[in-house]
Homo-oligomer: A and B are copies of this chain.
Amino acid sequence: MRATYMFGAGDVRVVDAPDPTIQQPTDALVRVTRACVCGSDLHPYHQMPPTEGGSPMGHEFIGVVEATGAEVATLVPGDFVIAPFAVSCGVCEFCRAGLQTSCVNGGFWSDAVLGTAGGQAEAVRVPLADGTLVKVPGITDSTDDPLLASLLSLSDVYGTGWHAAVKGGVKTGSTVTVIGDGAVGLLAVLSAKQLGAERIVLMGRHEARTDLGLELGATDVVAERGAEGIAAVRDLTAGGSPIVLEAVGHMPAYEQAVGIVRPGGVISRVGVPQYEDAPVGFGSLFGPNITLTGGPAPVRAYIEQLLPAVLDGSVQPGKVFDLGLSLEDTPKAYAAMDAREALKVVVSPW
């Protein structure tokens, strides 16, 4: 089959790879209908040292079950499925608690320990298929593109935005500020809106993206950054935002969050931190009793809840995909996202 591999920074290629096979009785084989490139894929795209064998890429995909191992109980060939960005068993303490990203038996795509490959390919072996995959009745390869895109967003970015809002404690009437106008930030806006937020300030400076943010529920846009951005948000929120959703992951975004959060408030992070140490002492989090929360979203926990509104079209998270390419053009998808010519790229294997 054809599959996307990264061989080093800036070096993404679509190559011939072995067809995946059932290796464990709990495996399923999934033929990919749509995959995509993640903002977090751009980190190795900037930093990865050259390697000869390359790494298989992609952790977001939807597709059709082609075969199942002997112990797979809930799926049969032909089922349409969403694959979350984490593999999870569904039965351990953490899976039962809705924290599938901490599954004691699972892991991630392109994971050496699990032996998983990536979703930017024609097909994928899915370990722990009963726990990992979510079946969606009534969907096929020929379902219309906007709906497929919205289903694809449930594999990561929509569930991640939702996690930010849930961990931030957004509820009816909340005032929320979202830092970042990438796909996750925009879907954090949508999620905050769905959870009843009344005021949603979106911090971002790419007008096409913040316009989409306004469409998805933002009430205000702040394009400034740094001290000016902090002053603008503090002014809009009369002294600070009780809930801040941080969807970037770089230190300036963390500093922005600390600068705009209201005493007693919450900073909920879902942007993968590109730092380890950060200010948390008396002058930042402790003095004003700020709560810092968030982490990798257990999107598996949210799919069933978010699916109905996606299926009936009342929300359209797939709007964050603004470019579609074929699998053979996946390297162009990385380049377009890196150059910020595309917000998020959907990849079709045909």
Q: B-contacting residues of A (Cβ < 8 Å)?
A: 94, 97, 99, 101-102, 167, 263-264, 269, 272-273, 275-296, 298
Which listed residue, B97, B263, B276, B281, touches A284 by the CB 8 Å rule? Answer: B276
Which listed residue, B278, B288, B289, B296, touches A280 by the CB 8 Å rule? Answer: B278
A280/B280 contact (C-beta < 8 A), A94-B263, A94-B264 known: yes
Q: Give 5 new A-B contacts, CB below 8 A, not counting A286-B294, A287-B296.
A: A94-B263, A102-B288, A285-B292, A285-B295, A291-B293
CA distance A269 to B290 in the complex (A): 11
DSSP majority for the A interface? mixed
7 A–B contacts, CB within 8 A, in A order = A102-B263, A102-B264, A167-B289, A277-B281, A287-B295, A289-B293, A291-B292
Smallest CB–CB gap between A177 and chain B, Å? Answer: 18
Copies of the chain in the assembly:
2
A293/B295 contact (C-beta < 8 A), A94-B264, A273-B286, A280-B273 known: no
Q: Which residue of B lies closest to A280 (CB)?
A: B278
Which listed residue, B101, B102, B273, B298, touches A281 by the CB 8 Å rule? Answer: B273
Chain B residue numbers with a CB within 8 Å of A281 are: 273, 275-278
CA distance A280 to B258 in the complex (A): 14
Chain B residue numbers with a CB within 8 Å of A298 are: 289
A269/B286 contact (C-beta < 8 A), A99-B263, A102-B263, A279-B277 known: yes
Smallest CB–CB gap between A265 and chain B, Å? Answer: 10
Q: Which residue of B lies closest to A291 (CB)?
A: B293
Which listed residue, B102, B269, B286, B294, touches A295 by the CB 8 Å rule? Answer: B286
